[in-house]
Amino acid sequence: MKFLAEYRDPAVAEKYFAAIRDTVTKPWTIMEVCGGQTNTIVRYGIDEQLPKEITLVHGPGCPICVTPVEMIDRALIIAERSEVIFCSFGDMIRVPGSRADLQRVKAEGGDVRVVYSPLDAVRIARENPSKEVVFFAVGFETTAPANAMALLAAKNEGLSNFSMIVSHVLVPPMLEVVCNAKDNRVAAFLAAGHVCTVEGVREYRPIAEKHRVPIVATGFEPMDILQGVLMAVRQLEEGRAEVEIQYGRSVREDGNELAREIVSKVFTRTKRKWRGIGTVGSSGLELREEFASFDASRKFDLADFEVEENENCLSGRILIGELKPTDCPAFGVSCTPETPLGATMVSAEGACAAYYRYRSANSSFEIRNS
């Protein structure tokens, strides 16, 4: 396929592998931040074909995976109400809370609907004025602009029956957490290209300088990953710690100014709990006070609702690069896509789901059947 096959060409890939082999002289651990990048790496066996000096570890860049349990439970409580139409992207439907998931609520009669845009939820609110319509607003900086636009549209239309559960998280503060970890071994990051498309790379420069860690804004196809790794290795071998843009077909220094303006109009920064990791200051977004009436957690009196996480799930350690999914004793045994302990086993971008799906096949650089 034009503009896709070029990024999956085995001949070009081998040139990148060769260049990496020619460049690396020391052992380096590189973290790919985004779960989409993890899936590409595992699907195509990229990590297994890199020189032995290069270790790739998986990062916290799966917004579904890091959505805290209490947010899932809030969604379940609200979705069970007879007056509610609960709207969510499909990848949240099977994410387990402390007792169930949204699929179970739907099976038991709750009006849970999969939407493909937050504006779909606004339309449903418009068409169902006697119902409370709640949208599950989950994601990194990438999805925040569309969610902000949907909320502005609902406010402009006076849709008082529309609200959101907001669980947005931000990438740069979590990179600080990784860098400050006691046993941190990450020498460089492949930053998430779609996040940088929205926000740009300005916030990453102080992190690179402070921690002496290269950060490369990288895309999601095999060639993107390999070029990103090569750029990171060159910096490490040369003793540089800079922010570079591999994903130049999408990322600009300042990102998308209009998108950033819309997000800042609706949201403000706040501390946020990350599933399996803990609370990180200024790492999330919440609605500004002038939009409080659209906050579903407040509307349904659940703003202070909290629950304990499953202590048998080690996804938090996987999400900060301490463990690989196969290091978890529950992986593939008590934790499977049918019986997940955590979100990393059911999310489309989850590292555990990727290992479960692709590691049973022999690794080779080819398009595997999905």
User: If we measure between CA atoms, which residue out of 210, 174, 212 comes closest to residue 192?
Assistant: 174
Region for 40 from its dihedrals, namely left if φ exceeds 0, alpha if ψ lies in -120 to 50, beta otherwise: alpha
Tell whether the model's pLDDT for residue 370 goes beyond 80: no
Q: Which residue has the higher pLDDT, 5 or 210?
A: 210
**What is the per-residue pLDDT across 117-131, written as a single tens digit (0 to 9) for each?**
999 999 999 999 999
pLDDT confidence of residue 368: 44
Burial 268-282 (b: 16+ CB within 10 A, else e): eeeebbbbbbeebee
In the predicted model, what is the mean pLDDT of residues 185-190? 97
Tell whether the model's pLDDT for residue 66 goes beyond 90: yes
pLDDT confidence of residue 4: 77
pLDDT confidence of residue 50: 97
In the predicted model, what is the mean pLDDT of residues 187-202? 97
Tell whether the model's pLDDT for residue 319 goes beyond 60: yes
**What is the per-residue pLDDT across 106-159, written as a single tens digit (0 to 9) for each?**
999 999 999 999 999 999 999 999 999 999 999 999 999 999 999 999 999 999
Q: Which residue has the higher pLDDT, 225 or 348?
A: 225
Amino acid of residue 23:
T
Q: Which of 294-298, 312-316, 345-349 has the highest mean predicted lDDT (pLDDT)?
A: 294-298
* Residue with tokens 């398009």, as numbered in its chain: 367
pLDDT confidence of residue 2: 59
For residue 38, with 0-12 CB atoms within 10 Å meaning exposed, 13-18 middle and 19 or more buried, which class applies?
A: buried
Q: What element of type H or E holds 338?
A: none
Q: How confident is the model at residue 3 (pLDDT cuts 50, 70, 90)?
A: low
In the predicted model, what is the mean pLDDT of residues 41-48? 95
pLDDT confidence of residue 360: 61
**What is the per-residue pLDDT across 205-260, written as a single tens digit (0 to 9) for each?**
999 999 999 999 999 999 999 999 999 999 999 999 999 999 999 999 999 999 99
Q: Rounded mean pLDDT of the chain?
A: 94
Pairing mode, strands 162-169 and 278-287: antiparallel
- E-state strands within 127-199: 132-139, 162-169, 188-192
> With respect to CATH, is domain 5-63+172-245 assigned 3.40.50.11750?
yes
